[in-house]
Amino acid sequence: MTAPRGGQQSPEDDGRLHVTRVRDLIAIAVVAGLALWILIRYNYGEFPSLPWPASVVLYLLAAIEVGIGFYVRSRVSDQGVGPALSQLHPITVARTMVLGKASAILGAVAAGGWTGVLIFLLDNGLLDAARADRPAAIVGAAGGVVLVVASLWLEFCCRAPDDPTDDAQTPDAYPA
């Protein structure tokens, strides 16, 4: 990896995995919502009716991630992360965090996309088809938000415990 022109590397480019920022997820949701709103505005007649059970997958994935989050959090708090066979391997924790990051992006795309569709459907309240498709859009947008929250929870659970501060160390730890 090369350093920027100034010769200094920004803190975000240090090669480490960072926590997903909510502002990035909001930007993704806005772009997805705008794209889907434009797509459905000009092609609504070409689409079949929207099935609300299609969004159940978002809720199922969110529930799985919350469960994994509780499991990882309990192992991290009990110092059950390490290379031993009875411990949760650190690479597994890192992969779980990547799953949380990817799911947060998926949830943002789903929430934004379904919200864009819902805005179109609310603007066209006179069409019977638009009124019939509203529940699916509401369930989908809510499912995207639930997935984002569950994914951020999973990322939070994968954090390593804080390092001890200098105040917590004994005075004889450092020779005078």
Provide the residue ranges of all domains of the chain, joining segments of one domain with +.
26-161
- pLDDT at 87 (0 to 100): 81
**Diameter over CA atoms, the chain:** 81
pLDDT digits (tens, 9 = 90+) for 66-95: 999 999 988 888 777 778 777 888 888 889
Question: If DSSP codes are grouped into helix, strand and coil, which group holds residue 124?
Answer: coil
- pLDDT at 139 (0 to 100): 94
Token pair of 173, please? 């730890």
pLDDT digits (tens, 9 = 90+) for 2-61: 445 555 555 555 666 678 899 999 999 999 999 999 999 888 878 788 887 888 999 999
**Residue 99 C-alpha from the chain's centroid:** 8
**Conformation bin of residue 169: beta by default, left when phi > 0, alpha when psi is -120 to 50:** beta
The pTM (predicted TM-score) of the whole model is 0.80
Instruction: Answer whether 58's CB lies under 8 Å from 147's CB.
Output: yes
Residue 15, CA atoms < 13 Å, CB-side half-sphere: 3
Token pair of 102, please? 């990817």
pLDDT digits (tens, 9 = 90+) for 121-169: 888 766 777 788 888 999 999 999 999 999 999 999 888 776 454 444 4
Token pair of 143, please? 């499912």
